[in-house]
């Protein structure tokens, strides 16, 4: 049944294309326009005769004249481009659904059951309950303890994974208050950039670089902020300096080279 449904949806999506192929071609060029005009004149003469406004001799003479003009109209060869276009459309009627089906069989996972909304809502409710429990435990934990730091770090990662960037920023900021850490500062700077708060990211980055000026991630983020602020020359200087200080096997060298190539 599922494959029949897919085929029905594909047929519905391609119906306008099929109608285009079946629809008579519109007049194109002088020749086709003349033919359409002469045929319309013949049809009009037939209606005039049936209505009694033309007698038989007058109708025959007028029809002969229109037919003479029709035969005298210059012929025109069919456009090969139009023929290729129709052939392409006809091939698309078959190739598009076939390609889609092939890609689904290749990369899809038809055996994986769908996740109904009810199940996803229940999973989200369970996650909310767990995070509420974590917040409740943090409220009873000494605020400057290592346990509080680990708890806020766990909460920040969970909130970021769920796309709740404001809550993640608050959690990572609490981690930094307990103990400064260049890695956590870099996480928080990235979150500020994702939220579009470049001012907060810049202020935090300046303080973090003062504490750890050689940290490669912080230096990369410094160049990223310069690029986002419309200062590509400053970004290039920061990234080139970082690239020069990076070991040959540093995993971030490829990223830096791509970023440098993308600068205007």
* Sequential DSSP letters for 199-245: HHHHHHHHHHHHH-TT-HHHHHHHHHHHHHTT-HHHHHHHHHHHHHH
Q: Measure the CA–CA gap between 228 and 263, rounded to whole angstroms.
A: 11
Residues 41 and 165 in one domain: no
Residues 88 and 132 in one domain: no
Q: Measure the CA–CA gap between 257 and 244, rounded to whole angstroms.
A: 11
Q: What is the mean pLDDT of residues 37-58?
A: 75
Looking at the 3D structure of the chain, how many domains does it have? Answer: 2
DSSP 5: H
The mean-pLDDT minimum among 35-39, 49-53, 75-79, 234-238 falls in 75-79
Residue 75 token pair:
């012929």
Tell me the whole-structure pTM to 2 decimals. Answer: 0.55
End-to-end CA distance of the chain: 53
Residues 124 and 89 in one domain: no
Q: What is the mean pLDDT of the chain?
A: 79
Residue 247 token pair:
């070991």
Q: What is the mean pLDDT of residues 67-76?
A: 58
Residues 37 and 156 in one domain: no
pLDDT of residue 137: 92
More confident site: 261 or 72: 261
Residue 182 token pair:
């260049």
pLDDT of residue 43: 80
Residues 147 and 231 in one domain: yes
Residues 102 and 187 in one domain: no
Alpha helical stretches, state H, 73-143: 80-107, 117-139
Residues 43 and 134 in one domain: no
Residue 101's pLDDT band, with cuts at 50, 70 and 90, is low
Domain of 158 in residue numbering reads as: 118-262
């Amino acid at each position: 049944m599922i494959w029949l449904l897919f085929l029905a949806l594909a047929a519905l999506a391609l119906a306008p294309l099929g109608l285009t192929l079946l629809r008579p071609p519109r007049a194109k060029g002088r020749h086709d326009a003349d033919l359409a005009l002469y045929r319309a004149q013949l049809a009009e003469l037939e209606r005039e005769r049936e209505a009694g406004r033309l007698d038989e001799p007058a109708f025959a003479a007028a029809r002969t004249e229109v037919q003479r003009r029709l035969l005298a109209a210059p012929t025109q060869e069919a456009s090969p481009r139009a023929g290729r276009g129709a052939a392409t459309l006809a091939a698309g009627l078959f190739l598009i659904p076939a390609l889609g089906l092939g890609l689904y069989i290749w990369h899809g996972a038809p055996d994986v059951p769908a996740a109904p909304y009810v199940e996803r809502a229940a999973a989200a409710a369970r996650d909310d309950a767990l995070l509420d429990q974590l917040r409740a435990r943090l409220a009873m934990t000494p605020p400057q303890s290592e346990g509080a730091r680990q708890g806020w770090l766990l909460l920040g990662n969970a909130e970021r994974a769920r796309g709740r960037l404001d809550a993640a920023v608050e959690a990572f900021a609490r981690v930094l208050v307990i103990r400064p850490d260049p890695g956590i500062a870099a996480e928080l700077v990235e979150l500020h950039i994702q939220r579009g708060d470049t001012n907060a990211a810049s202020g935090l980055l300046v303080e973090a670089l003062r504490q750890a000026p050689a940290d490669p991630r912080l230096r990369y983020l410094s160049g990223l902020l310069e690029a986002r602020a419309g200062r590509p020359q400053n970004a290039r200087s920061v990234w080139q300096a970082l690239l020069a200080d990076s070991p040959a096997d540093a995993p971030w060298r490829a990223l830096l080279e791509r970023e440098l190539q993308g600068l205007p």
